Amino acid sequence: MAVSHVWTVTELVQKNDDSGIVRAANFTVVSTDDVTTTSTTSRGRVEFQKPFAAPLTQNQDFIEYDNLTHADVLGWVQADLGSNLGNYEVNNAAWIDSVDNPPTPATVVQVLPW
C-alpha cells in the first residue's frame, strides 16, 4: 500500500481591521491509496500565536494579504503543527488500511445447527 497525501489550505481567518493579518487557517489532508484508490480526508485548523500574513522568520518581510501564496500559508500551517504534522498522514493511512484490510471479527453469528 502506497498512500499519497495532499495538503490544502481551505480558508484564512483575518483580523477584522483591514490589516491583512492572518490569525488562523483551516486545512484538509486528503490521503489516497495509490493501488485501491481508497481515500479519506482529515480537517484541521491552526490558530496562529503571532500575526501571520507576517514573517515566518525574522529575516522575512511582511507579506501583504493579496500577495500570499498557498505555499506561504501551508508552510505556516505545517510549521505550527510541528511534531503533530505527521499525525494527520499516519491516522489517514491507518484508516485506509483498516478499510482495505479489515480485521477478522472476534465472533461470528452462525446458522443454527438444527
Digit-coded pLDDT (tens) for 27-83: 999 999 999 999 999 999 999 876 555 444 455 667 788 889 999 899 989 988 988
Does any domain span residue 107?
no
Q: Listing from the earlier edge strand, what are the strands of the sheet with 39-52?
A: 3-14, 22-33, 39-52
Beta-ladder partners of 3: 33
pLDDT at 98 over 50: yes
pTM: 0.79
Task: Give the DSSP per-residue string, 48-91.
Answer: EEEEESS-SSTTSPP--GGG--HHHHHHHHHHHHGGGHHHHHHH
Digit-coded pLDDT (tens) for 9-37: 999 998 888 777 888 999 999 999 999 99
Does any domain span residue 27?
yes
Does any domain span residue 105?
no
Q: How many domains does the chain have?
A: 1
pLDDT at 107 over 80: yes
Does any domain span residue 112?
no
Host domain of residue 51:
3-100
